[in-house]
Amino acid sequence: MAKTDPDPRPEPPPRPDNSECCGGGCNPCVFDFYEESMDMYRAELRAWEARHKGEKASKPRRTRRGRLD
């Protein structure tokens, strides 16, 4: 049976495709929601890193296409 991490490293939210924005100046835009999600992710990552200070954790790797592995 696979062992699951009780406190996994937070994952960044997926970035919307450029085609998901209609370009109509919506308020909020899909990219505004993305930025809010990124702010939450960064805060969660800082908290996670503080809890795991001193541990050697592997960072997600970027693939050739820029996606997280």
32-56 pLDDT, tens digit per residue, is: 999 999 999 999 999 999 999 987 6
pLDDT band of residue 4 (cuts 50, 70, 90) is confident
Q: Higher-confidence residue: 54 or 66?
A: 54
User: CA 67, CA 69: separation in Å to the nearest integer?
Assistant: 6
Map residue 18 onto helix, strand or coil. helix
pTM (2 d.p.): 0.70
Share of the chain above pLDDT 90, in %: 67
Which carries the bigger pLDDT value, residue 5 or residue 29?
29
Helix, strand or coil, per DSSP, at residue 68: strand
CB atoms within 10 A of CB 38: 13
